[in-house]
Amino acid sequence: MKKLALAAMIGLVSASAFAAQGDILARFRVINVNPDASWSNSGTVAGLNVDAKDAWAPEVDFTYMITNNIGAELILGTTRHEITTNLGSVGKVSVLPPTLTLQYHFMPDATFRPYVGAGINYTRFYNDGLKVGGVTNLSVKKNSWGPALQLGADYAINKNWFVNLDVKKIWIKTDVTADQLGGAKLGELKIDPWVFGIGFGTKF
């Protein structure tokens, strides 16, 4: 029985991909970006119901371990979303939202390693083809800055590979203008997505 318990303990230790100061953790995820969209009546159009459809995409991120418990993560990925209103679909827009978070890893030497993070998001809007009624061309402000929060965990498969689950809340907004109205501001579109991710990772 003692030998069996010792073997189990050795197996548990060998399964831990120890995250230590100076390590770089690379993760490869599939993410679902689920917008919590709303329309701010700060322009000329009030009472408009706006929504942005969710989207799936691959994503890669890198975490540099500043200490054994503190890491800095940069995520890279892009998604394309259909924008709808109570007047119907107005088209699609692509977003590139690199996000930098500072993380705290609670148990970096364990097999199950939860972490929390907070940071800043920069979003670049591109390839937008938005129209109302198929006639009025809409434009969006290309850049957005906002906060980001994060909760996740790594689970070690062996000393080099681990499975990852991750959830982020990101605040994203952009001004919407009408080209045919001399660039008049119609309002502010808030996307504010939840980002759910699952994948695997390694360290080097």
Q: Which of 67-76, 125-134, 182-191 is predicted with the least confidence, judged by mean pLDDT?
A: 125-134
Percent of the chain with pLDDT over 90: 52
pTM of model > 0.85: no
Report pLDDT for 101.
Answer: 98
Report pLDDT for 16.
Answer: 46
Are 152 and 135 in contact by the 8 Å Cβ rule? The answer is no
Assess whether pLDDT exceeds 90 at residue 119. Answer: yes
Q: Give the residue, 137 or 196, on which the prediction is more confident.
A: 196
